[in-house]
Amino acid sequence: MALWERTLPESIAFRFGARNVGAAWIMAEASSLQQAFTNLAVNARDSMPNGGDLSIYLSKLRVKKDDLAPVAGLASGDWYKVEVVDSGSGIAPEHLIHIFDPFFTTKGIGKGTGLGLAQVYGIVQQHGGVVVAESEVGKGTTVSIYFQAIAKNQTVANEVEEMNLQEGASETILLVEDNAPACEATKALLEMIGYRVFTAGEGRTALALFERHQEAIDLILSDLVMPEMGGLELFREVRRINSEVRLLVMTGYPLEGEKPLSHEAGVEWLRKPFTVKELTQAVRRLLESA
């Protein structure tokens, strides 16, 4: 709350409310949750350029074994619900279904990477939670996040493993992306799920990095079209150094017909925008095939 009050403009009225909750305990990594809520605040702020209201509500609910859960994915037990509500411009229905997809944005060029809400989705999923959004054009947006409740003194050692906060296995990825904000956001997303990440803004810099750190790099995640040296040329140069290196190509172009390198082992393609799940699954498939 203190962070939001310092960073939100004075034209936005901010309020917090807790509904019959008392002390609320969940198993979570604090800085990750701060990142998630900050992303939500930034999105809300951007939807209210002339000011408005931003509210956060905390409540508790119990899902009984035979009851229909209020949203899909809630197991029986006690949950905390956090609602972030803004009075902004709202989101059209055809866009609402995509807001948690990486690289999907309705903001103008240079004003958004499309990764803020994807990070929120990833963080909540890794904490065993559920996130949903409701919106109406002209009337604002509500993002609801559900976290499973624990008792203050509950033993949590086993729960940490079950929650699988880190999907990665400490492998190293070379991320090559010429859009600087998208590169930083994708790097944060990959690090959040347990990978070490080198970054480069174009192919020649990436090639130099690979030559220096080839023993450590397990996978190259590269944009297709970049200045000077694109993703395919980079891959061919890297394969001359190491014939086993894996490549995951990101592209905004349609993946129709036979794709370049489609017969090469250790190569996959991802069409932007893709989901967090599609990205993490493709990365794991390639790493496990090595």
Label residue 209 by pLDDT band (50, 70, 90): very high
Is the per-residue pLDDT at 181 higher than 80?
Answer: no
The residue assigned the tokens 């905004």 is 252
Distance of CA 6 to the CA centre of its chain: 25
- Which one has a higher pLDDT value, 198 or 157? 198
pLDDT on residue 80: 94
Q: What percent of the chain has pLDDT over 90?
A: 33
Write down the pLDDT at residue 163.
Answer: 40
At 108 the pLDDT is 55
pTM for this model (two decimals) = 0.59
**Residue 164 pLDDT class (50, 70, 90 cuts):** very low
- Averaged pLDDT score across all residues of the chain: 83
Residue 159: predicted pLDDT:
44
Distance of alpha carbon 225 from alpha carbon 126, whole angstroms: 31
Closest by CA position to 137, among listed 183, 84, 92, 98: 92
pLDDT score at 162 = 42
Strand order of the β-sheet with 77-86 is: 12-19, 52-63, 77-86, 140-148, 130-136
Grouping H, G, I as helix, E, B as strand and the rest as coil, residue 192 is: helix
Q: What is the pLDDT of residues 226-252, one digit of tens each?
A: 877 888 888 889 889 988 889 998 887
Within 13 Å of residue 169, how many CA atoms lie on the same side as its CB?
7
Among residues 63, 85, 102, 80, the alpha carbon closest in space to that of 23 is found at 80
Sign of the torsion angle spanned by Cα atoms 266, 272, 274, 279: positive
Q: Count the neighbouring beta carbons within 10 Å of the beta carbon of residue 162.
A: 10
For residues 270 and 137, which has the higher predicted lDDT (pLDDT)? 137
User: Is-cis flag, bond preceding 181, omega within 30?
Assistant: no
Other beta carbons less than 10 A from residue 237's beta carbon? 16
Q: According to the model, what pLDDT value does residue 236 have?
A: 87
Nearest to 117 by CA among 28, 36, 192: 36
Q: Is the Cβ–Cβ distance between 100 and 131 less than 8 Å?
A: yes
Backbone angles phi, psi at 71, to 5 degrees: -140, 155
pLDDT in tens, 83-142: 999 999 999 999 998 888 876 776 654 455 556 788 888 888 888 899 999 999 999 999
pLDDT digits (tens, 9 = 90+) for 22-63: 788 888 888 788 888 988 998 899 999 999 999 999 999 999
Distances in Å between the Cα of 248 and the Cα atoms of 55, 228, 267, 271, 285 are 40, 19, 6, 11, 10
Domains of the chain and any CATH numbers: 2-163 (3.30.565.10), 172-289 (3.40.50.2300)
Using an 8 Å Cβ cutoff, are 80 and 60 in contact? yes
Helix (DSSP H) and strand (DSSP E) numbers for the chain: 9, 10
